[in-house]
Structure 1
Amino acid sequence: MQTKPNGTQHLNTPWNKDKIIGQKRPLKLQEVWAIRIRLQLAQQIRELAFFNIAIDSKLGGCDLVGLHVSDIAHGHAVMNRAIVLQQKTQRPVQFEITEHTREALTAWITHAKLKDDQFLFPSRKHASPHLSIRQYARVVERWVISIGLDPSAYGTHTMRRTKATLIYKRTKNLRAVQLLLGHTKLESTVRYLGIKVDDALEMAEQTEV
């Protein structure tokens, strides 16, 4: 709340005013590739690396933008796997870095001449040492609009949920997804994936005893 010169008070307008709040949709596999190919064709080296590591890492926004080069690479070699301490829970979480993501990250680190102790995605604004959550949200909005999706239905959590949702749909292994997301409780994973009673019944119908 701020005070006007005349002594009256007014409420600050929240950043999410008039925005749809709720669980954001994950991207479908074809949508992931549609965005990836657009970034490749446009030679958006930084955004391609950012998009790929966002999908692979399944990290929350604050953990993703806070990545250092040393978290995912030794020298100029990007690792196959990485481990990060989550800011929210202070619990470590591991993730895989696929080949096309390693290639994109290597290209970005080389292009930006980044050193091990630097943030992987430095901010272009002097006020912040790395990309902010708000900047990340704007980037995601740009990505989904580029392939004709409604930006109100997608957000930074879209990137965290996308691969986790695809893994669950293929394997139905909740425990594995729980570990990949770094959730302490299985119930959190169930809510995060948006698993419904129909999903559980479908699995039950496919199991003969």
Structure 2
Amino acid sequence: MDHEERIRLPQELAAAAAGFERYLLAERGRSPHTVRAYRGDVDSLLLHAVTEGVTTMDGLELGLLRRWLGTQNSAGLSRSTLARRSATARSFTSWALREELLRFDPALRLKAPKRDHNLPAVLQQQQVRRLMDSLAAQAADGSPLALRDHAMVELLYATGMRVGELTGADVDDLSYERRTLTVLGKGDKERVVPYGIPAEKAVQMWLGQGRAVLAHASSGPALFLGARGGRIDQRTVRAVVGRVFAELGDTSATGPHTLRHSAATHLLDGGADLRAVQEILGHTSLSTTQLYTHVSVDRLRDGYRQAHPRA
């Protein structure tokens, strides 16, 4: 990829990539994060095309697409990443055909590798208790950042929300009476997620004793703030969660998504309805939520093997 990054796209290819990006933002309503990923995939494809001497859109053909994916595979990319890049290529060429940038769609017969179905990392419930107890102890001295970190982690686990949904939340999105938070998910879809008493207490402590210290005139309505009083960003949240996982000492988990996975798994372990968990997580497809039933079944099987005398 280093060699490709030194290559500039010819004008026609660069214009097509920029047009596709505008289409994703304006017409498909994709999030900036998703658009960046798609644009990176398209740039990778077109840069590869240039290395094969292609300078116009008509130069894209099925063999070139397959060779591009082949180089990605040789570079050690996971099957899930290859599957995403293949899907991006199909979306890009389909859009280009509609825009009359192509005379035919070269990706119609492009097959994607099957995605990996690795089960997500999940914390045990006793690990979550230790994690929250540690954060509560750190927040006991009233440090604004410690109060914030405790509230963020409690809320991430309580709601199963994505880190981008947390950073985008405003104070007015909280409903204290119902103990719910309104979040804006993928595709700008709004949903309401419940949270429990521990998260409620942590959030109230943050709002009353922590946020008030960090906030200033230009802080706006952001629920969580950075050290300088602006809306907190995803990188900071990931760093906080990574730190508390490291302090836990007995997990390889590193990111906020582990809290989402754990919340979903623990809900299902506790008997929650699959459709209800789908709604809480904001999954478009029930099949995505069903992955967590596999996690629960595997844990049940492991427990059986360890405990049953004739397992």
TM-score by length of 2: 0.50
- Spell out the pairing of 1:13-32 with structure 2 (5 A cutoff): 24-32=120-128
Change (3 A) 1:134 1:24: farther
> In structure 1, what is the equivalent of residue 51 of structure 2?
none
After superposing on structure 2, the runs of 4+ consecutive aligned residues of structure 1 that deviate more than 4 Å are 20-24, 114-117, 196-199
1:207 counterpart residue number: none
CA contact (8 A) 1:36 1:48 kept: yes
Quickly say closer, same or farther: Cα 1:168–1:197, change in 2 above 3 A: closer
Paired position in structure 2 for 1:71: 173
**Residue 196 (structure 1) shift:** 6.4
Going by fraction, where is strand more abundant, 1 or 2? 1
Corresponding position: 1:62 with 2:164: yes
Shift of 1:150: 4.0
Residues of 1 paired with 2:120 and 2:227: CA distance? 27
Q: Report if aligned partners of 1:24, 1:154 keep a CA contact under 8 Å in 2.
A: no
Q: Which residue of structure 1 lines up, in the alignment, with residue 248 of structure 2? A: 147
C-alpha distance 71-198 of structure 1, shift in aligned 2 (>3 A): closer
Q: Which residue of 1 aligns with 2:189?
A: 91
Structure 1 match to 2:260? 160
Output the CA distance in 2 between the equivalents of 1:123 and 1:23: 32
Pick one of 159, 171, 182 that aligns with 2:271: 171
1:82 aligns with one of 181, 184, 197: 181
State the match for 2:238 in structure 1: 137
Q: Is the 8 A contact 1:35 1:147 kept in 2?
A: yes
CA contact (8 A) 1:2 1:9 kept: yes
Aligned equivalent of 1:185:
285
Where relative contact order (Cα < 8 A, 6+ residues apart) is larger, the structure is 1
AA paired with 2:125?
L
Query: Which amino acid letter does the alignment assign opposite residue 181 of structure 1?
Result: L
State the superposition RMSD in angstroms. Answer: 3.3
- Gaps of at least 5 residues in structure 2 are 8-77, 82-117, 140-145, 302-311
Q: How many residues align?
A: 180
Unaligned runs of at least 5 residues, structure 1? 11-19, 203-209
With the length of structure 1 as denominator, give the TM-score of the two structures. Answer: 0.72
Cα-to-partner distance string for 1:36-91 (whole Å, 9 max, x where unaligned):
11111122311111111111121111111111111115xxx5751222221x2222
Q: For the pair shown, which has the larger CA radius of gyration, 1 or 2?
A: 2
2:121 partner amino acid: R
Q: CA deviation at 1:23?
A: 5.8
